[in-house]
Each structure stands twice: as C-alpha cells, then as structure tokens.
Amino acid sequence: MRGMKWYYVSRALFAAALGAVLVLGGSAWWIGAAAGTLALAWFLAAPHVGRYTVHPDHGATALRRDERGAAINSSAARNGFVVSMLAIAGIIIYVGAFAMDGVPAPVLQWLLALGVVTYYASDFWLRRMHS
C-alpha cells in the first residue's frame, strides 16, 4: 500500500522491541521471536481486515477507528472494567468473610486476565451484533 512506509517501519520496530523485551525479561529466545512475529503479522494484516480506516498521510498513525469502531471499543473497555471491579469486590468480600491474610497475588493476575478476556470477548460479540 502506497504511502504506508512509516506505518510499516514503526510497527516492525515495535514488533522487534516486543520480542527483545520478552527475551530480556527472561523468556526463551523462541518465545520472543514468536511474539514478535505474531505482532508483526497482525500489524501487516491490520490495514486490510476492515476494522480500521486507513489514512496514509498520517504516517505512523495511519490506522484509525471510525465511529462504530470507537463505540464498540468503548463498550468493550467498559465491560472489561466493570467485570474486573466486580470480581475484585467479590474477592475482597470473600477474603474478608473468611478472615484470610489477604488476597494472594496470583489471584490478582487472574482478575486482570479476566478483564482482558472480557474486553476481547465483548469486542468480538459487539462486532457480530453490529454488523
């Protein structure tokens, strides 16, 4: 796609940086390579999948959400936040009721993951509903 040079260059650098961060953080080299490759594959596909409007004149920020995409993203983010907060509240009440020492750290990781999963599931569902 003409005029998209800076988009592709910036995303290639981002994918390489993602892989490097994972390797420097202690992951195996192949995990870093796989994550970087997957990220790069998504960035290469993104202008063609129909989720974004493409503005080559905007350089590295050539992809933009239109108003439907922004509305879906906003609803999905709200759903993820609400589910995370309700889960955290539930865990705190549960821990308080059973007089435990505190919320174990791994539980908080799972709550965060729950919020992320809710966000992507909502995004997927809303796109199907609104098309």
For other proteins, give the closer residue by CB, 105 or 129.
129
The token pair that represents 2 in the structure block: 């003409």
Cα 75 to Cα 18, 53, 64, 80, 122, distances in angstroms = 28, 19, 17, 9, 8
Residue ranges in 17-56 that form contacts with other proteins under rule CB under 8 A: 50-53
Q: Is residue 57 a contact residue for other proteins (CB under 8 A)?
A: no
Phi, psi of 9 (to 5 degrees): -60, -45
Phi, psi of 54 (to 5 degrees): -105, 125
Q: Are strands 63-64 and 53-54 parallel, antiparallel or unpaired?
A: antiparallel
For other proteins, give the closer residue by CB, 34 or 127.
127
# residues contacting other proteins (CB under 8 A): 13
Q: In whole angstroms, how close is the CB of 81 to other proteins at the nearest point? A: 23
Cα 10 to Cα 30, 59, 86, 108, 111, distances in angstroms = 22, 9, 37, 33, 32
Q: In whole angstroms, how close is the CB of 40 to other proteins at the nearest point? A: 23
Alpha-carbon distance of 120 to 89, in angstroms, equals 22
For other proteins, give the closer residue by CB, 68 or 78.
68
For other proteins, give the closer residue by CB, 107 or 127.
127
Residue ranges in 62-91 that form contacts with other proteins under rule CB under 8 A: 66-69, 71
Binding footprint of other proteins on the chain (CB under 8 A): 50-53, 66-69, 71, 127, 129-131
